Amino acid sequence: MASSLPAAPAATTRHFADDLRQRSDTALAALLRARPDLAAPSPSTLRSLAARASSRTSLERALARADALTLQVLEAVLALEPVFRAPPGGADAGGPPLPGPLSPEVVTWALGGSADDRSLVEAAVHRAVEQALLWDGGPGTEQSDGQGSDRAADLRTSPGLDELLGPNPAGLGPHVEPVPDGLAEAVGRSLGSAPGRTGTNATEAALDTLLADAPGGARAILDALTWGPPVGVVPPAGSRPRDAVNWLVTAHLLVRSDARHVVLPRLVGLALRGGHTHRAPHTRPPEPQGRTVPTATADAEAASAALELVRRVRLLRQSWDDSPSSVLRAGGLGVRDLRRIAALLEADEPATAFVVEVAALAGLVRDDGEAPPSYVPTVTDWDDLDDAARWARLAEAWLTARRAPWLVGSRDDKGALRAPLSPDLQRPWVPRLRHSVLGVLAAARDADAVLAPTPDAVVEVLTWHTPRSVPPASAVEGLLAEAEWLGVTGAGALSAPGLALLEQDASANRTAGSPAGQEPSDVAGVLRAVLPHEVDEILLQGDLTGIVPGRPSRELARLLERSTDVESRGAATTVRFSPASVTRALDQGETADGLLDELAHRSPVPVPQPLEYLVRDTARRHGAVRVGSASAYLRAADATVLAGLEHDPSLTGLGLVRLAPTVLAASVPAAALHEALRSRGLVSALEGPDGRVLVARRGVTGRAIPAPRSAAAIRMGSAADVATRAPDPEALVAELRAVEAAARAGARARADAAEVAHSVAAPGAVPLRGYRVVSPAVPVTADEVTVTAPPEPAPSSSNGPDAPLDDDPGTQHPADGLALLRDALRDGSTVIIEVAGHTGRLERRELKPLNLDGGRLRALDPDREAELTIAVHRIASVLPTTPRPEANQN
Amino acid sequence: MPDGPLIVQSDKTLLLEVDHPSAEQARRSIAPFAELERAPEHVHTYRLTALGLWNARAAGHDAEQVVNTLIEFSRYPVPHALLVDVAETMSRYGRLQLAQDPAHGLVLRTTDRAVLAEVLKSKRTAGLVGARIDESTVTVHPSERGHLKQVLVKLGWPAEDLAGYVDGEKHPIELSPTTHPRTPHEQAAPWEMRPYQAQAVDGFWHGGSGVVVLPCGAGKTIVGAGAMAKSGTTTLILVTNTVSARQWRDELVRRTTLTEDEIGEYSGTKKEIKPVTIATYQVLTTKRKGVYTHLELLDARDWGLVLYDEVHLLPAPVFRMTADLQARRRLGLTATLVREDGREDEVFSLIGPKRFDAPWKDIEAQGYIAPADCVEVRLTLPESERMTYATAETEDKYRLAASASGKKKVVEQIVARHPDDQVLVIGQYIDQLEELAEHLGAPIITGQTTNKERQRLFGAFREGEISRLVVSKVANYSVDLPEASVAIQVSGSFGSRQEEAQRLGRIMRPKADGRTAHFYAVVARDTVDQDFAAHRQRFLAEQGYAYRIVDAEDLDGSPADSTAP
């Protein structure tokens, strides 16, 4: 049990919260940046910041982001902690087995590796300290900022970390006393904590001495347990291995954990490992495996993918303009519609789902909001851009999207097929994973060649970066496939446009606040540079084909789209003219002469005679049979009857058109026509509906609906990151400091007051916001004193969100209580806990916490010598007990 | 090459710009592994197929060579996936080999045990292979050699057949240095194989079995004769039809030491089995009571060589039958490896890989194929005939359109345009032809014409005594009329592109004075006749023939050579 109050003895160890408190402002800001979840919502005090930093959730998050090396460092510190520090309460043990602080240097020796590795390990230690996963538990001074002091830091793991990393860190067993002779010293020397570092020879020599008269097989048993797991099964009685085990247990080289198992003590394990905690440090991510692709190839592939995507999005918009697809009841696009679009786009279903998704992300298509809803294209300036700029819009939308289109076609928990555009494709973690994946690709791009790592290789690298949260291989594969469809990669390797996209995103993040992609970006320019040449001519051939030896210009593309069928697409385009394709052009208002002129104008060779003949012949036949719409018809055997009607001024509203001498068509329904003729005095008969009444097709133009006002609004999942929404770390730190200063002033006042009252101030009970100070000795007095001598209110507290600084009669902040419980667990000390009883009344008990897990506290009541379990939510407050003099010695 | 003549598309087509300075070089480099699909005037289209790549492997090219060629001549970066695919595909050929083992007979060997394990695991190889000899060898029953090869191609692991061939029954065959005269008054003329024909024979003989690809009219029969002479064994020749069979016999008699007595015809009408036997596909595929009755032919003699004419037309049942002929040397002759039924893989596995391929342009450049001017004349039917046509039953439509009365006048006009040429009029319907013959005052040859009369008329036509001849479809196959420079087709077979080109190739032999040949097709507008013509047109244009469409109304009687290209 320790106290960090200035009044307390300097030799005592500090607490985690003290370490945080003593960090510099910049170090705290760095912490808040590295672990953004600590800053949102803003913690009210530094102690609650510390409590939050050591809470299970936050630690899990931090560990999930930690790379393999950092995790090794944490494991090493956790494994070495007990052997550098005597167990709490073991006052008679005579000090820790290994002397000296657990310094970063010791950690680097423990991990081993070359001199090169050591600097990386030290950097990892520094990072872990910065993220408050490690802290300096050495006897510090108030002004220490954790890095600038001349004394070697004494590293500790953050409270709660031991629970997350398991009972056997790095596969090492528990630390138990007594330690066999000479082992501690040998390990200490190999770790450099004891004078005269010797390397692994020392531990080998010590083990040899200990095993000098061991029975056969003893060493083999130890070797089997060396690299973990450290638990072995006891062989049957009477066997020779059993004798060896028995001997080892007697020699304290093994410990019986229960009737059937033995366990290798930590120091023995360390000695067997030559003083190391790990075989070797994983200082760097593995080199990704894959084939090398020339940059030119990657760029060219990317360019063709980009063009293809833009083309497909355009086709999708056209298709939905003509016939919108309806929205499923649960949201999303039905599988039949998906297949139809896939056939149209000449793509498989996953690629089609991606096209649909990316078009929606870029706000180019959306649900029209009608009942029943359909997907329709939006009105946008996208169509007016060139290919490169269109692509840039799509790519930017994709980069920040929180959606997982690769799940389309798989089934959810209820067995329902996941549909494109459906809300359950939303995955908040996608942007982070996408950035990691692209980051791996970006690291592999050089000037000439670029590596195309396999999905497995990418997963391997990502596994090094975050071993505790390995991304699912399917997601990585999905993202890589998307990058390929998009042209962010070409032939599996990052392309120049892809790199530009990443760089633009990085710079946009640096100048936070300006939304990405609003100004014409550089990304389009980079793509433009790698696109095939724009060609404005077509080679027409006698077999009715035409070849565009490059990328067709926009006008040419429009012409070809109208009048030809594409046979082959790629660096060049092969098109074929057929009666059907020419008819299409004629349908769109083209004339034979116009089409031939335009073709002649764009062809370096004369228009081949068969083509000319085809166009003219098709034009000749075009319109020979005509189709129109009418609502009703009027027929009569006598042509003269009808002749008068067509130009009758009283019937102009009927829209009568003469189709043949004996047939008139009308634009009004048959009933209306009938009525009108009757009123004119002409007795007409109504023909029954026999299918010849043509009904005008439902108007398809004008389906388009306006795009939403801001592009950001329709970008699915583009909400600002949590980190950017959180307050500025520097400002937050300043605020916390101010609270701290105010509290200190209050504490000083109270300490004085307490002295007057002959009371000992509660250690660690620095009165912070929301913290109720209760001195167990004379609680009422202390309260009264505090009340009568309130601290100076901090200037910033007036606009702070929390209660006033002075004593708050309400309950304690839960995080503070938990922090105290953790400290007590760690130190093996007792605390005073106020628990809400069955009747709702607060009961106060002094307890020794044993375990805190899953929302339950297991604790020992020393007075009653009984163990009890309390639900954490029933704990109203936790108070430290007065330090006991004998416990303070450690 | 940033300005290369080749554009490599990701759908595995290669576009070759013909007018590019290095186009010729590129063409030579890609020919071994890419199939020419279309050869219109400016840009030729080649296609990369698995079979084409395996053919290249069989000819000794490796993937690196192919990839380098593509990269060297390509104007734009070659799609990466395509290069990977090329390397992957080519590496598959030859990992399995069929070989003769001194102890175990025919065996399937592998250099890659995993591949052998994979193919043996497949259900399709069950029953085709025998006992496993060791990790990388398994016995094969000799009778399943063909089936196994077929299956392995289907599984994507084509086997290299190194098992060799039976020698077959010896029979002396030599190429004769001079042609044997067909008619008493014809002179024997010295001749020899053209260089590319000799190369084709050598290429085939070295490879063992395989296919020789030569364009129409390039003299495939002579390559066959050359192969027979090289083999010097009894030979079975499989051809498409009787007419073709007779033509083969004539050519063999004319150019080899074989006499009429040594050559047998095995067809619907005759069932002769002689040292050299020519059989039609049709007779082989004739079934009686569900049984192929003429299979014994295949084992009738110990054939040393089996020749397949027009491999691309080989009917499916013949494939099944010839699967058993794997121990004999096989030569396939064709103008194209592209089959419209997609059975290219069967040709590859059962006949063999491509052994020789002469680019059409090369042969034309050497003057062995005459350039031809193809014109389609479109005739508008008069109102009354249109009405008849519109209301006719579907099966009568073609006949109605093809024998439209207006064609008579059109033919007359065309003939008038070529006063100095030897003109053939070809048709399908005898009534129509008789009418035309009468109208033009020209003699007619049909199926009913006696052989003697035929020989007399052909002789007279060759000698220039008569300059116009009307022939039916049957007759036009068996004639070799080198001096015919104009052909007018008034009605043809229903749009068979292959047959059309065949016919064209046969008639359009190089002329002594280097004149351009003319081919006219007279077609009734807006009828099925025109639709069939469109097929032919596409095929001919793809083959590189200049093709024009003219309205019948625009024809006049002026000599054609003023408008000829």
Cβ-defined contact of B7 to A542 (cutoff 8 Å): no
Q: Which one of A568, A581, A603 would you mutate to disrupt binding with B, by most B Cβ within 10 Å of its Cβ?
A: A568
Average pLDDT of the residues in A609-628: 85
For the stretch A384-389, contacts whose Cβ atoms lie closer than 8 Å and that sit 24 or more positions apart, written own/partner, are: A386/A524, A386/A528, A386/A554, A387/A306, A387/A307, A387/A310, A387/A531, A388/A306, A388/A524, A388/A525, A388/A527, A388/A528, A388/A531, A389/A520, A389/A524
Cβ-defined contact of B40 to A543 (cutoff 8 Å): yes
Which among A296, A304, A574 is the nearest to B10, CB-wise?
A304
Work out the minimum CA distance from A572 to partner chain B, whole angstroms.
Answer: 7
User: A538 and chain B: CB distance < 8 Å anywhere?
Assistant: no
Q: Which tokens sit at B100?
A: 């003769």
Cross-strand pairs, B426 = B471, B489
Q: Least CA distance to A533: which residue of chain B?
A: B76
| E strand or H helix at B486 | strand B484-489
What would the pLDDT profile of B186-199 be if each residue is shown by its tens digit? 677 888 888 889 98
Q: Which one of B15, B378, B539 would you mutate to disrupt binding with A, by most A Cβ within 10 Å of its Cβ?
A: B15
Q: Least CA distance to A491: which residue of chain B?
A: B80
User: A620 and chain B: CB distance < 8 Å anywhere?
Assistant: no
Cβ-defined contact of A569 to B41 (cutoff 8 Å): no
Pairing of strands B468-472, B444-445: parallel
Residue A272 neighbours by CB distance under 10 Å: 23
User: A304 and chain B: CB distance < 8 Å anywhere?
Assistant: yes
Which among A297, A550, A610 is the nearest to B548, CB-wise?
A610
A337-341, A415-419, A480-484: the lowest-pLDDT one = A415-419
Residue A889 neighbours by CB distance under 10 Å: 10
User: A541 and chain B: CB distance < 8 Å anywhere?
Assistant: yes
Q: pLDDT-derived band of residue A351, with 50, 70 and 90 as boundaries? A: very high
Average pLDDT of the residues in A272-276: 84
Work out the minimum CA distance from B118 to partner chain A, whole angstroms.
Answer: 25
Contacts of B45 in chain A (CB under 8 A): 568, 574
- As a whole-number percent, the residues of chain A with pLDDT over 70 amount to 79
What would the pLDDT profile of A662-718 be if each residue is shown by its tens digit? 888 888 887 788 778 878 777 777 766 554 433 333 333 444 555 544 444 344 444
Residue A220 neighbours by CB distance under 10 Å: 10
Q: Which one of B88, B537, B549, B550 would you mutate to disrupt binding with A, by most A Cβ within 10 Å of its Cβ?
A: B549
- As a whole-number percent, the residues of chain B with pLDDT over 90 amount to 9
For position A412, what pLDDT does the model report?
A: 84
What would the pLDDT profile of A532-577 be if each residue is shown by its tens digit? 878 889 999 888 899 998 888 888 988 888 899 988 888 888 999 9
Average pLDDT of the residues in A795-807: 41
Which residues of B lie inside 8 Å of A (Cβ-Cβ)? 7-11, 13, 15, 17, 38, 40-43, 45, 75-81, 526, 537-538, 541-542, 546-549
Average pLDDT, chain B: 82
For position A538, what pLDDT does the model report?
A: 92
Which among A293, A300, A542 is the nearest to B41, CB-wise?
A542
Contacts of A300 in chain B (CB under 8 A): 76-77, 79
User: A531 and chain B: CB distance < 8 Å anywhere?
Assistant: no
- As a whole-number percent, the residues of chain A with pLDDT over 90 amount to 11
Domain ranges of chain A: 16-272, 290-530, 536-619, 632-680, 729-889
Q: pLDDT-derived band of residue A390, with 50, 70 and 90 as boundaries? A: very high
Q: pLDDT-derived band of residue A727, with 50, 70 and 90 as boundaries? A: low
Contacts of B38 in chain A (CB under 8 A): 543, 545
Q: Over 60: is that where the pLDDT of A3 sits?
A: no
Residue linked to tokens 């002094």: A846
Q: Which tokens sit at B291?
A: 């049984």
What would the pLDDT profile of A417-438 be if each residue is shown by its tens digit? 889 998 888 888 899 899 989 9
Work out the minimum CA distance from B179 to partner chain A, whole angstroms.
Answer: 39
Cβ-defined contact of A572 to B15 (cutoff 8 Å): yes
In A257-296, the residues whose Cβ lies within 8 Å of chain B are: 293-294, 296
Residue linked to tokens 């026999």: A690
Q: Over 70: is that where the pLDDT of A264 sits?
A: yes
Cβ-defined contact of A490 to B537 (cutoff 8 Å): no
Contacts of B542 in chain A (CB under 8 A): 543
Find the angle CA(A710)-CA(A711)-CA(A712) to the nearest 5 degrees.
90
Average pLDDT of the residues in A136-161: 63
Which among B8, B13, B546 is the nearest to A542, CB-wise?
B546
Whole-structure pTM value: 0.70
User: pLDDT: is A360 or B445 the higher one?
Assistant: A360
Residue linked to tokens 């090459």: B1
User: A301 and chain B: CB distance < 8 Å anywhere?
Assistant: yes
What would the pLDDT profile of B300-339 be if each residue is shown by its tens digit? 788 889 999 888 878 777 777 777 778 888 999 987 776 6
Cβ-defined contact of B547 to A532 (cutoff 8 Å): no
Work out the minimum CA distance from B275 to partner chain A, whole angstroms.
Answer: 45
Q: Least CA distance to A484: which residue of chain B?
A: B81
User: A544 and chain B: CB distance < 8 Å anywhere?
Assistant: yes
**What SS3 class is residue B389?**
helix
Angle between helix axes A240-250 and A218-226 (nearest 10 degrees) is: 70
Which among B9, B40, B81 is the nearest to A542, CB-wise?
B40
What would the pLDDT profile of B461-518 be if each residue is shown by its tens digit? 877 888 888 888 665 555 566 677 888 888 876 555 656 666 666 666 666 666 778 8
Q: Hey, CA dihedral for A274, A275, A279, A283, is it positive or negative?
A: negative
CA–CA gap between residue A404 and residue A472 (Å, rounded): 12
User: A18 and chain B: CB distance < 8 Å anywhere?
Assistant: no
What would the pLDDT profile of A538-548 be if each residue is shown by its tens digit? 999 888 899 99
Which among B7, B80, B526 is the nearest to A572, CB-wise?
B7
A153-162, A578-587, B540-549: the lowest-pLDDT one = B540-549
Angle between helix axes A68-84 and A115-130 (nearest 10 degrees) is: 80
For position B185, what pLDDT does the model report?
A: 63
Does domain A729-889 correspond to CATH entry 1.10.10.10? no
User: A545 and chain B: CB distance < 8 Å anywhere?
Assistant: yes
For position A194, what pLDDT does the model report?
A: 53
CA–CA gap between residue A880 and residue A372 (Å, rounded): 64
CA–CA gap between residue A236 and residue A436 (Å, rounded): 52
A138-142, A522-526, A736-740: the lowest-pLDDT one = A138-142
Q: Least CA distance to B9: which residue of chain A?
A: A570
Which among B17, B42, B80 is the nearest to A297, CB-wise?
B80
B336-369 core/surface letters (b: 16 or more CB in 10 A; e: else): bbebeeebbbbbbbbbbbbbbbbbbbbbbeeebb
Contacts of B75 in chain A (CB under 8 A): 549, 571
Average pLDDT of the residues in A800-817: 51
Average pLDDT of the residues in A122-148: 71
Q: Over 50: is that where the pLDDT of A774 sits?
A: no
User: Which residue intervals of A7-114 are DSSP H helices?
Assistant: 16-21, 25-34, 46-53, 56-65, 68-84, 104-111
Selection from B511, B528, B260, B508 nearest residue B394 by Cα:
B528
3-state secondary structure A212-272: CCCCCCHHHHHHHHHCCCCEEECCCCCCHHHHHHHHHHHCCCCEECCCCEEECCHHHHHHH
Cross-strand pairs, A233 = A261
Q: Over 50: is that where the pLDDT of B268 sits?
A: yes
Helices (H) and strands (E) in chain B, counts: 22, 25
Average pLDDT of the residues in A778-803: 39
Q: Least CA distance to B43: which residue of chain A?
A: A547
ipTM reported for the complex surpasses 0.85: no
Q: Least CA distance to B3: which residue of chain A?
A: A549
**What SS3 class is residue B148?**
helix
Contacts of A571 in chain B (CB under 8 A): 7-9, 75-77
